[in-house]
Structure 1
């Protein structure tokens, strides 16, 4: 079987992607059975890193938990590919040819290796309402 790899964007203008690496499991609620495409998991923000000025810092907020992470360069870049089958195969005996289209390149990962920090420390207190005297 012949597999062709095509890149229509050129090496210098390929869209940059990143990998988010978490320690643990992100589980959706039971109401999301099956397809989780388009599911809002949390909020990823770039933040200045207090420990080192050379590494970019990131925060990832999921529900009431906040994770702190850093941007790490991969030793070898990864390609993001889209697989398409062409109709170049003649007849039923030859399998169709497969083309792989490059749609992005991954050069960095955002690594969250520490335990999450809880954002809620104690429940909010209820204010007591004071009775106002009736006006005459």
Structure 2
């Protein structure tokens, strides 16, 4: 079976994507299970060319950028259109992005707990 893959952006113009690999499980509260699409779970920051931090609530993970042995394509399936505007029975895959790296967080998270504020004694 032959599947045609098209890249509309030309040579080397596809968006670069990355896989974020975490140890453990990321679970959503039962109160927001139905609203998980576009839900922000944390903040990913690049601290240097290959070092990253991922902050989730009061936890900070440190990770690094690791190249994949074989790249992945991110594809979007679509129906081919005929000249008269009708959809044909053949499907095509459109390249949305290329994944060449993963951001690996393999260590335990560091707790971000601020020091308690010191109360000043009033002189009296």
Q: What secondary structure does 2:32 align onto?
A: coil
Structure 1 residue 127: Cα displacement: 3.4
Structure 2: any 5+ residue segments left out of the alignment? 83-87
So what's the TM-score if we normalise by structure 1? Answer: 0.75
Q: What per-residue deviation string (whole Å, max 9, x for no partner) do you get for residues 26-65 of structure 1?
A: 11122112341210110111114xxxxxx71100000010
| Equivalent in the alignment of 1:112 | 105
| Equivalent in the alignment of 2:80 | 86
Structure 1 residue 86: Cα displacement: 3.0
Aligned length: 119
Q: What secondary structure does 2:12 align onto?
A: helix
Q: CA RMSD in A?
A: 2.5
Q: What secondary structure does 2:4 align onto?
A: strand
| Equivalent in the alignment of 1:21 | 21
Q: What per-residue deviation string (whole Å, max 9, x for no partner) do you get for residues 60-112 of structure 1?
A: 00001000000001111110000112366xxxxxx921110001101111000
Higher alpha-carbon deviation: 30-39 or 103-112: 30-39
| Equivalent in the alignment of 2:71 | 77
- Higher-Rg structure is 1
